[in-house]
Amino acid sequence: MAVLLAEAPLSSSLLPRKPTAATCDPTNRKKSPCSSSFSSSSSSTRLSLSPTKVLNKSTLSSKTQSPHNSFTEEIANLCSNGSLNDAFLLLSRHDLKISNITSLSNAFGILLQACGYEGNLELGRKVHEHISLSKELMGYPVLTTRLITMYFSCGSSLESQSVFKDLEQRNLFQWNAMISGYSKNELWEEAIALFCQLLSETELKPNNFTLPCLFKSCAGVSNAVMGRGVHGMILKLNLASDTFVNNSLTSMYGKCGFVDEAVKVFDRMPERTLVSWNTLLSVLSDNGLLLDGFELFLDMVSVGEQLLQIDDATLVTLLPMCAFEGWIELGRLVHGLALKAALHRELRVNNALIDMYGKCGSLVEAQSLFEKTIQRNVVSWNAMIGACARNVDVDGVFELFHAMSMEEGMRPNEVTILNVLPACLRRSHLDYVKQIHDYVVRNGLEINSLVPNALVAAYAKCGSIDSAENVFNRMELKTVSAWNALIGGCAQNGDPIGAVHVFLKMTDSGLQPDWFTISSLLLACAHLKYFRQGRSIHGFIQRNGLDKDSFISISLLSFYIQCRKMSAARTLFSAMEETDSVSWNAMISGCSQNGMPDESLELFRRMQRDRYEPSLVAITGAFIACGQLSALRLGKETHCFALKADLDEDAFVGSSIVDMYAKCGSIDEARSIFDRLNARDDVSWNVMITGYGVNGRALEAVELFGKMQEEGLTPDEFTYIGILMACSHGGLVEVGLEYFEQMRAKGVERKLEHYACAADLLGRAGRLNDAIHLIERMPEKPDARIWSSLLGSCRIHGDITLGERAAEKLLDLDPNKAEHYVLTSNLFAGSGRWDDVRRVRKMLRNNGLRKDPGCSWIDVKGQLHCFTAGNGVNLKSDEICRMWSVLEEKISKMGYVPDTGSVLHEVDEAEKLEMLRRHSEKQAIVFGLLSTGAATKIRVNKNIRMCRDCHCAIKLVSKVARREIVVRDNKRFHHFRDGFCSCKDYW
């Protein structure tokens, strides 16, 4: 059942990119999910670790060459047929004093082997008792060796030890049987201690059966020091050329994390078998060096000195490597090798293939293999259930679970439950969790502590914290993992306060938190914005030396970012000894989320300079930053980077690109990208609808909203925010109100954001009474955003009475924002109430706040040029003034009359005219006209709302200059062309 490797050529071009040096560092490597067993060989090539053969039916029925062949053969036949008691009865009839001792020893040895093979400890003890009556039988080394082995095979190491101690003389076979038995029963320390006793108390020399057992034990306790010491003995023992010893030594070094030493042993082997190659392949897989593993496999198939044959052990090592990295094409290639070798019929290969396809996201191929599997075992079912769970096919998971339960001889086990429960993620899955819980209780599976932990996590994810606590409270032994399950469940599923309370109970119980506890607690503090408590946890981390853990460091970084403490986050990031892609991603996205787009883009550049590959998270953060800055040129550069890195195919990145172009005012480019997306999910539809809204294209937003539903997608809360915003900016009042009412009918909860949009919709249209009526009947208390929107509408429409009321509410709710005082001041200035203007400005100063001056900026040839209202300090200031005078003269002939009412200062008319001429957007636009070619679109950003005068003037400038001008203020985009604006003078 093998295939010549020369028949299956592979190309290294199929391999993914080379890992970084950090990945290959054995001193800082975590266990890979691809870990295989100690021995990489198949059953056909595996060597025994003891001098006795593994018992099977063929050995039992084989004929001996002794003179008493017929008697021994009769015993062997009885044992091979499972009639162990009959065999013992037959043996016990023989008189030990007159029987042929050699024949009797062989027969008893066969029976002892059978007892060990069947795990029949009771009968084995009877045999031991019987042969103990004969000093001659107990003097046979082979028989006592088999007696020791039998006890170990039945799990009774103490009785093996007793037999060994009672021996008057011990040979190497008996020492090997003991060391091998300890090793097989994972009594690693005992095996090592006995090996040391062998060296110190006897003249016997360890052989090629002794050392592999010792190396396995060293690997079991990660005692590389002991392993190295014994490695030095190999030359003295003349075993340096022994393949079996070298294979076990390679495996020992690999399991202790010393990959370089394992490779050296492999390279120096005078003769390599398939087991040698499989062992090193397993070492590389166990240590996460998956790319190196595939390169080794390429060397393996191209080896010239002999024709090696792959076996099932090779395949079941390669397939988990493909699964872990998602290398589906390589997985399919390995599948092809399995087919060519007819190894796909091996059940463990078939199971590994199902697992690989499931983990690589190809559920169809996994299902096809599963359905074709004739003889399925529990592993087959678990692999298929796990595949469905990872691919969020909850119905498929439970169909398989019920089918498995109904199949004769098949019973879901703990692994099945642990595969099923992670698929339950929503409130609608709660009934499924209850079904699984019932099955667990009925079948006694809660004994395994992992199962109740998984139930706690599943109940929490499904929103049933009470049920999670009930499961937790019924646990007899509450380990740290159990507490973590409940703390993590609360923190991640909407009950951060509960997470904190559970943590306090945990510490009261005397248990110390681990890295998972700390990370969950930091997540809870981040949700609650408990900055002080989070800082205390940071202190705990430092005092207990946990700050070196990368996972905890990332959790701390996320905590500071979510609490909007970016200076603390930057300090922590800079202090990290080793930054990885996760920490870079956190900082880049954190800066974007906290209104620091410049810092986000600078970090993105530094990340590339430090030779880190930007991930999907990093590139998304960069696009968000470009959108916040309306930096189209940088956005296009980032888009090119995403294309070259093949990141644009990701649905989330694609949506970020659409969002970036929309927020940079390139709405047509955004639509073009949107139309070319391979998979449009609700996020991409939402950003496109919102993009149309902020660019004044309300009708297109409405049309797209309808098309979204035609394609079978259901609008969510974010979709309605986008469409309501579009209707508000476009003046589609009745349409917007219909959508607002539609939310209730569609079962979408109306939140503060939706009420804010509806109030803004009514306020912009001058329906101020309707707006205040809506605000007053809101189910929640209106926040500062809603009162700010109403105050802005009152200023536009001159309702001073309602405006004063809105201003009072606004300043009570949020007295620490300068823009609220400016808005209130502008309300009074528009009505000529200068005493109130002075009063409000005094309040602003007394609160230690300062009004940001009106500022506009423009990107010309990669350089950012900023202009401040009234400030004429610029290299081209005089030229800008002259140019504006020319433009003002031209637009005056077209009907432009300066709107001095836009100047909210108590000055004379002449000064008001001069102040209008020096508004920052006018300076920026003139600078753009002077600095760019005739076909270039002028793009200007402004930090506050554009005034009526500038809006009117820029419309006419776009006509006389024959340029398209785009101005983004703090509310929306204005696209000026041929004397018209996209907002249709409604903003």
Q: 3-class secondary structure for 820-847?
A: HHHHHHHHHHHCCCHHHHHHHHHHHHHC
Instruction: Check residue 5 and give its pLDDT.
Output: 35
Instruction: Check residue 774 and give its pLDDT.
Output: 93
Would residue 885 be called left, alpha or beta, if left means φ above 0 and alpha means ψ between -120 and 50 degrees? Answer: alpha
Residue 375, pLDDT > 70, answer yes
Q: Beta strands 3-4 and 973-977: pairing type?
A: unpaired
Dihedral (Cα; 529, 530, 536, 541), 10-degree rounding: -50
Residue 317, pLDDT > 70, answer yes
Q: Is residue 68 domain-shared with residue 172, that is, in the same domain?
A: yes
Q: Are the C-beta atoms of residues 715 and 708 closer than 8 Å to each other?
A: yes
Neighbouring residues of 629: CB distance < 8 A, sequence distance ≥ 6: 597, 598, 601, 941
Q: Is residue 299 domain-shared with residue 286, that is, in the same domain?
A: yes
Q: What count of Cα atoms within 13 Å lies in the side-chain half-sphere of residue 343? A: 25
Q: Is residue 873 domain-shared with residue 945, that is, in the same domain?
A: yes
Q: Which range, 372-381, 409-418, 577-586, 957-966, has the best average confidence (pLDDT)?
A: 957-966
Last residue of a domain, one of 157, 185, 213: 185
Instruction: Check residue 468 and give its pLDDT.
Output: 86
Rounded-to-integer distance, Cα 553 and Cα 573, Å: 9
| Lowest mean pLDDT across 116-130, 576-590, 718-732, 883-897 | 576-590
In a domain, 249, yes or no: yes
Query: Residue 423 sits in a domain of what CATH number?
Result: 1.25.40.10
Question: Which residue type is seen at 919?
Answer: H
Q: Which two tokens stand for residue 7?
A: 């028949």
Last residue of a domain, one of 149, 165, 185: 185
Residue 912, pLDDT > 50, answer yes
Q: Are the C-beta atoms of residues 316 and 348 closer than 8 Å to each other?
A: yes
Q: Is residue 211 domain-shared with residue 159, that is, in the same domain?
A: no
Rounded-to-integer distance, Cα 939 and Cα 566, Å: 30
In a domain, 693, yes or no: no
Would residue 558 be called left, alpha or beta, if left means φ above 0 and alpha means ψ between -120 and 50 degrees? Answer: alpha
Place of tokens 């009639």: 83
Strands (E), 783-897: 855-860, 863-868
Instruction: Check residue 247 and give its pLDDT.
Output: 93
How many CB atoms neighbour CB 270 within 10 A? 9
Neighbouring residues of 65: CB distance < 8 A, sequence distance ≥ 6: none
Q: Are the C-beta atoms of residues 966 and 975 closer than 8 Å to each other?
A: yes
Q: Between the CA of residue 57 and those of 53, 91, 145, 259, 309, what are the distances in Å?
A: 12, 20, 20, 40, 27
Summarize pLDDT for 24-83 with one digit per residue, the tens. Answer: 333 333 333 343 333 333 333 332 333 333 334 444 444 334 444 677 888 888 898 889
Summarize pLDDT for 201-240 with one digit per residue, the tens. Answer: 999 999 999 999 999 999 999 998 999 999 988 888 889 8
* pLDDT averaged over every residue in the chain: 85
Last residue of a domain, one of 457, 477, 497: 477
Residue 181, pLDDT > 90, answer yes
How many CB atoms neighbour CB 806 within 10 A? 30
Q: Are the C-beta atoms of residues 411 and 445 closer than 8 Å to each other?
A: no
In a domain, 663, yes or no: no
In a domain, 261, yes or no: yes
Q: Given pLDDT bands bounded at 50, 70 and 90, which one contains residue 97? A: low
| pLDDT above 70 as % of the chain | 91
Q: Is residue 210 domain-shared with residue 259, that is, in the same domain?
A: yes
Rounded-to-integer distance, Cα 254 and Cα 929, Å: 68
Q: Is residue 391 domain-shared with residue 317, that is, in the same domain?
A: no
How many CB atoms neighbour CB 961 within 10 A? 21
Q: Which range, 510-514, 540-544, 712-716, has the best average confidence (pLDDT)?
A: 712-716
In a domain, 637, yes or no: no
Instruction: Check residue 453 and give its pLDDT.
Output: 87
| Lowest mean pLDDT across 39-43, 89-93, 324-328, 838-842 | 39-43
Rounded-to-integer distance, Cα 824 and Cα 947, Å: 16
Q: Please state the rounded mean pLDDT for residues 15-21.
A: 38
Residue 297, pLDDT > 60, answer yes
Residue 691, pLDDT > 90, answer yes
Rounded-to-integer distance, Cα 595 and Cα 180, Å: 64
Instruction: Check residue 18 and give its pLDDT.
Output: 37
Nearest to 215 by CA among 179, 242, 239: 179
Q: Which residue has the higher pLDDT, 873 or 604?
A: 604
Strands (E), 139-219: none
Rounded-to-integer distance, Cα 439 and Cα 430, Å: 14
Instruction: Check residue 236 and give its pLDDT.
Output: 85
Number of H helices, E strands in the chain: 52, 8
In a domain, 451, yes or no: yes
Q: Given pLDDT bands bounded at 50, 70 and 90, which one contains residue 789? A: very high
| Lowest mean pLDDT across 111-115, 342-346, 919-923, 939-943 | 342-346
Nearest to 729 by CA among 696, 687, 700: 696
Q: Is residue 155 domain-shared with residue 192, that is, in the same domain?
A: no
Q: Please state the rounded mean pLDDT for residues 656-668.
A: 93
In a domain, 19, yes or no: yes
Residue 493, pLDDT > 90, answer no
Q: Given pLDDT bands bounded at 50, 70 and 90, which one contains residue 832? A: confident
Instruction: Check residue 61 and give its pLDDT.
Output: 40
Q: How many residues are given for the chain?
A: 987
Element (H, E) at 618: helix 616-629
Q: Is residue 124 domain-shared with residue 142, that is, in the same domain?
A: yes
Q: Please state the rounded mean pLDDT for residues 859-866.
A: 85
Nearest to 825 by CA among 834, 816, 814: 834
Q: Is residue 286 domain-shared with residue 366, that is, in the same domain?
A: yes
Instruction: Check residue 874 and give its pLDDT.
Output: 55
Q: Is residue 241 domain-shared with residue 335, that is, in the same domain?
A: no
Q: Is residue 161 domain-shared with residue 146, that is, in the same domain?
A: yes
Please enumerate, as own/partner, the contacts of 305-309 that have beta carbons within 8 Å and a separation of 24 or more. Answer: 307/4, 307/5, 307/6, 308/4, 308/5, 308/274, 308/277, 309/2, 309/3, 309/4, 309/5, 309/274, 309/341
The per-residue DSSP string of 6-33 comes to GGS---GGGS-PPPPGGGG-GGG-PPPT
Instruction: Check residue 474 and give its pLDDT.
Output: 87
What is the number of domains present in the chain?
5
Q: Given pLDDT bands bounded at 50, 70 and 90, which one contains residue 528? A: confident
Identify the domain containing residue 884 by its residue range.
Answer: 868-981
Rounded-to-integer distance, Cα 746 and Cα 110, Å: 76
In a domain, 842, yes or no: no
Phi, psi of 551 (to 5 degrees): -65, -40
Nearest to 90 by CA among 76, 133, 647, 493: 76
The arrangement of strands across the sheet holding 980-981 comes to 863-868, 855-860, 938-942, 965-968, 973-977, 980-981
Dihedral (Cα; 468, 470, 474, 480), 10-degree rounding: 40
Summarize pLDDT for 919-931 with one digit per residue, the tens. Answer: 999 999 999 999 9
Sign, Cα dihedral of 383, 386, 392, 394 = positive
Rounded-to-integer distance, Cα 404 and Cα 575, Å: 52
Rounded-to-integer distance, Cα 211 and Cα 204, Å: 13
Q: Which two tokens stand for residue 187?
A: 């009594």
Q: What count of Cα atoms within 13 Å lies in the side-chain half-sphere of residue 389? A: 24
Q: Please state the rounded mean pLDDT for residues 373-395.
A: 88
Q: Is residue 164 domain-shared with residue 70, that is, in the same domain?
A: yes
Rounded-to-integer distance, Cα 238 and Cα 240, Å: 6
